[in-house]
Amino acid sequence: MKITGAQAVVESLRREGVEVIFGYPGGAVIPIYDAMYQAGFRHILTRHEQAAAHAAHGYARSTGKVGVCIATSGPGATNLVTGLATAYMDSVPIVAFTGQVATGLLGRDSFQEADITGITMPITKHNYLVKRVTDLPAIIKEAFYIAGTGRPGPVLIDIPKDVSTNLVDFYYPEQVNLPGYRPVYEGNARQIKAAAALIQEAKKPVIYAGGGVIISGAEEELLRLAETIQAPVATTLMALDAFPGDHPLSLRMLGMHGTAYANFAVTEADLIIAVGARFDDRVTGKVDTFAPNAKILQIDIDPAEIGKNVRADLPIVGDVKRVLAELVPLLPRQEHEAWLEQIAEWKRKYPLTYDQQEDLIAPQMVVETLSELTRGEAIICTEVGQNQMWAAQFYCFKKPRSFITSGGLGTMGFGFPAAVGVQIANPDRLVVDIAGDGSLQMNIQELATVATYKLPVKIILLNNCYLGMVRQWQEIFCEKRYAATELQNPDFCKLAEAYGIKALSVEKPEEIRPKLEEALNYDGPVLVDCRINPEENVMPMVPPNAAIYDMLGVEK
Amino acid sequence: MKKHSHTLAILVMNNPGVMARIAGLYSRRGYNISSLAVGETEDPRISRITLVVEAEDENELEQITKQLYKLIDVIKLSDITKDDAVERELALIKVHCNSTNRSEILQIVDIFRAKIVDVSQEGVIIEATGDSDKIQAILDLLRPFGIREIARTGKVALVRSAAGR
């Protein structure tokens, strides 16, 4: 039976097990929207295409499934760009559909035409411009396969309007044929044996865990590795939820705003076991001072990450979960008493801390209270900047896929629309967006989405009327010349109420706990406007291009 | 630091945009391409690209090849710099020429087993093939006569069968 390209899109989504699509309609995708409407396919209307991409991201990160979004041609497609780049940097599986002008109008600067495959080439894992409707089902099959396997990432499919209206004999392939794409999952057995030997020689090992642990679902294997060899675990921002924050072996986060004890441990270590981590500059600081005494064992599914930023003494290419599952049984139980005692001393001497002033609200206290009230079991989304770092430092994560934040690209405006996707994917979980006033305003229109779908997302706004992180840098590096970082903000409570959303305001430290309790117990979306100490800084802080053991806010 | 030339033989899916993907990767990661030649293989779905790249050290070259390999359309990639390979480049060279020096030019053409493919009052077009050194040598010899224009294909290469693959 012949169906239209648009119907083929909907049918292909069904075959891929897609339950929901986030998007925003427009001229070039009217046929696809019509097909979705007629098929009763679940669609969530965001109020901006960027939010649809972030929502698909939140959906994907919180479930491990491929997130799907759709936008029209031209401006609709270009509005997806930030969301795709965000997903690409954090290896998040997304399939994005865009409408395109009809094939006969391509390349003529037609109305709402943009070369979106050209534009997104560097920020997608792969992309397609579909020129014939007969190619469409196989392309969709490939797109989902590429997005979700190996090192995941976003894939874009650009569909000209006539391709979605032309007829096709629908046939959905069972297999993909991609001779140029064969991800390696199994680690080399000899390398794994060599790794076991290297680990047994180490006196001061540190495990450095990254987002790859979450993606491959290797948190149990990671825990087993750490406990077997009694090695402390420092995580990246992307892996804070990969290892229980309250575990005695946890060093929490390393790097620019990491804990002093994580940074000291990495610096003193004689072996770094990098697991699904990519030695980002925010982690390593000045790269030639990173882990100067350590051999580096690097496990990653992406061969291009091996030795990219830091030399690897022993690389293992493969899926982190499978490699660890092979590696751990080769290891005898080890004790590193002296090393762990040294770390315990650093933890006693340099804990994460903050000043509690009488009348001013410490943002760290808001996050700490939230962590306590939710027992570390909420799914936390964040915006980007100080709010993100305070969330990373003071929320104690216990379960994987519970921290959804823009790590690589650092996209302001990410957290709130991501929370929309997370809440859709997890209707029974508590979903919180820890926000800053700058970032929240970048996608604040999503209050309408939350209201429309009655999504009980809790927005905890750490409002300092500044672009706080930039202000912090200006305070430290520009002698307090606050160029363009002071914000004249709206009344966020009134704004939320205008969308029909409950709002609470926290103006004194003693209001933090009762207001948070009220918000968390409320059945529906809430915005909590916390008027925090405006000049509070995120500490410790490694100045840019300094060694990570040289931290501001840590007195040695 | 001194850069070294490497010859990469790449088999790619003959999909639209594949050249843009490779060229884009180079520009955004800051690598340099010195020459690039592309054409269909015996299988029309697959093209062969011969890429000459400059790399500072083994590390940079390794990154270049790994990043190329990550492209879904790249099927196979080998660094054939040190392999026993046949390398050829074709150049069309337009040279000033008059009755006094025509025979001298013809002699050079002869020595290099090149060909005259066009003759006019003012000059000739010479077609030369060979490895890059040979092309460079004939260009150096012709330069004193006045080279008006050059078109070069960039290097293509195949590893000899005996080298096995």
Q: What are residue A389's phi and psi, to 5 degrees? A: -70, -40
Q: For tokens 């035409």, name the residue.
A: A113
Picking from A284, A316, A349, the residue at the C-terminal end of a domain is A349
Residue pair A513/A461 in contact by the 8 Å Cβ criterion: no
Same domain, A114 and A199: no
DSSP assigned state of B93: E
Going by their DSSP bridges, the two strands B156-159 and A126-129 should be labelled as: unpaired
DSSP assigned state of B100: T
CB contact under 8 A, A118 and B20: yes
Q: Which helix (H) or strand (E) holds B64?
A: helix B58-70
pLDDT at A332: 97
- Of A469, A471, A496, which is closest to residue A482 (Cα–Cα)? A471
Give the span between the Cα atoms of A305 and A498, in whole angstroms: 47
pTM: 0.96
DSSP string over A344-402: HHHHHHS-------SSSBPHHHHHHHHHHHTTT-SEEEE-SSHHHHHHHHH----STT-
Same domain, A367 and A321: no
Going by their DSSP bridges, the two strands B85-96 and B123-130 should be labelled as: antiparallel
- Of A195, A185, A186, which is closest to residue A328 (Cα–Cα)? A195
CB of A307 within 8 Å of a chain B CB? The answer is yes
Which residue of A lies nearest to B13 if distances are taken between CA atoms?
Answer: A180
Residue A477 sits at the vertex; the CA angle it makes with A473 and A479, to the nearest 5 degrees, is 105
Give the span between the Cα atoms of A340 and A247, in whole angstroms: 13
Per-residue pLDDT tens, chain A, 556 aa: give them.
899 999 999 999 999 999 999 999 999 999 999 999 999 999 999 999 999 999 999 999 999 999 999 999 999 999 999 999 999 999 999 999 999 999 999 999 999 999 999 999 999 999 999 999 999 999 999 999 999 999 999 999 999 999 999 999 999 999 999 999 999 999 999 999 999 999 999 999 999 999 999 999 999 999 999 999 999 999 999 999 999 999 999 999 999 999 999 999 999 999 999 999 999 999 999 999 999 999 999 999 999 999 999 999 999 999 999 999 999 999 999 999 999 999 999 999 999 999 988 899 999 999 999 999 999 999 999 999 999 999 999 999 999 999 999 999 999 999 999 999 999 999 999 999 999 999 999 999 999 999 999 999 999 999 999 999 999 999 999 999 999 999 999 999 999 999 999 999 999 999 999 999 999 999 999 999 999 999 999 999 999 999 999 999 998 7
Same domain, A23 and A153: yes
A111 tagged catalytic: yes
Q: Which of B20, B62, B74 sits opposite A180 (nearest CB)?
A: B74
Give the span between the Cα atoms of A87 and A154, in whole angstroms: 6
Give the span between the Cα atoms of A157 and A172, in whole angstroms: 16
Residues of B in contact with A129 (CB under 8 A): 16-17
Same domain, A299 and A439: no
- Rounded to a whole number, what is the distance in Å from the CA of A405 to chain B's nearest CA? 25
Count the alpha carbons within 13 Å of A193 in the hemisphere toward its beta carbon: 3
Residue pair A306/A315 in contact by the 8 Å Cβ criterion: yes
Q: How confident is the model at residue B165 (pLDDT cuts 50, 70, 90)?
A: very low
Contacts for B111 with CB less than 8 Å, ≥ 6 apart: none
Within-domain flag for A354:
no
Within-domain flag for A547:
no
Residue pair B139/B149 in contact by the 8 Å Cβ criterion: no
Same domain, A219 and A144: no
Same domain, A124 and A203: no
Picking from A139, A169, A199, the residue at the C-terminal end of a domain is A169
Position with higher pLDDT, A421 vs B163:
A421
- Of A293, A289, A279, A286, which is closest to residue A205 (Cα–Cα)? A293
Q: How confident is the model at residue B32 (pLDDT cuts 50, 70, 90)?
A: confident
Q: For tokens 């119907």, name the residue.
A: A7
Within-domain flag for A551:
no
Say if residue B34's pLDDT is above 50.
yes
Same domain, A341 and A380: no
Give the span between the Cα atoms of A198 and A216, in whole angstroms: 24
Whichever domain contains A450, its CATH number is: 3.40.50.970
pLDDT at B163: 52
Which domains does chain B possess?
4-79 (3.30.70.260), 85-159 (3.30.70.1150)
CB contact under 8 A, A179 and B13: yes
Give the span between the Cα atoms of A345 and A340, in whole angstroms: 9
Position with higher pLDDT, B57 vs A234:
A234
pLDDT at A357: 82
Whichever domain contains A206, its CATH number is: 3.40.50.1220
Q: Which residues of A257-292 are buried (b: 16+ CB within 10 A; e: fewer)?
A: bbbbbbbbbbbbbebbbbbbbbbbebbbbeeeebbe
Bridge partners of B74, per DSSP, are B12
Same domain, A462 and A321: no
In one-letter notation, the amino acid at residue A325 is A
Verify cis geometry, omega within 30 degrees of 0, for the bond prior to A540. Answer: yes
Q: Which helix (H) or strand (E) holds A338?
A: helix A337-349
Q: How confident is the model at residue B1 (pLDDT cuts 50, 70, 90)?
A: low
Structure tokens at A6: 């648009």
Residues of B in contact with A178 (CB under 8 A): 72
Structure tokens at A522: 């409320």
Same domain, A409 and A481: yes
Residue pair B127/B114 in contact by the 8 Å Cβ criterion: yes
Structure tokens at A61: 């990160």
Say if residue B133's pLDDT is above 80.
yes
Same domain, A323 and A379: no
Within-domain flag for A176:
no
- Rounded to a whole number, what is the distance in Å from the CA of B76 to chain A's nearest CA? 7
Residue pair A231/A362 in contact by the 8 Å Cβ criterion: no
Going by their DSSP bridges, the two strands B46-55 and B85-96 should be labelled as: unpaired
Same domain, A343 and A367: no
Q: How far apart are the first and last CA of chain A?
A: 74
> Which residue range forms the structural domain that includes residue A391?
363-531
Q: What is the CA radius of gyration of chain B?
A: 19
Within-domain flag for A237:
yes
Give the span between the Cα atoms of A160 and A102, in whole angstroms: 5
pLDDT at A1: 82
Same domain, A374 and A464: yes
pLDDT at B16: 87
Residues of B in contact with A179 (CB under 8 A): 13, 75
Tell me how far CA of residue B78 lies from CA of A368, B6, B22, B50, B155, in angstroms: 53, 10, 15, 10, 15
Within-domain flag for A179:
no
Within-domain flag for A178:
no
In one-letter notation, the amino acid at residue A483 is A
Residue pair A206/A251 in contact by the 8 Å Cβ criterion: yes
CB contact under 8 A, A307 and B59: yes
What's the domain count of chain A?
3
A388 tagged catalytic: no
Give the neighbor-by-neighbor strand order of the sheet with A154-160.
Answer: A43-45, A21-23, A67-71, A94-100, A154-160, A126-129
- Rounded to a whole number, what is the distance in Å from the CA of A145 to chain B's nearest CA? 12
Within-domain flag for A110:
yes
DSSP assigned state of A4: E
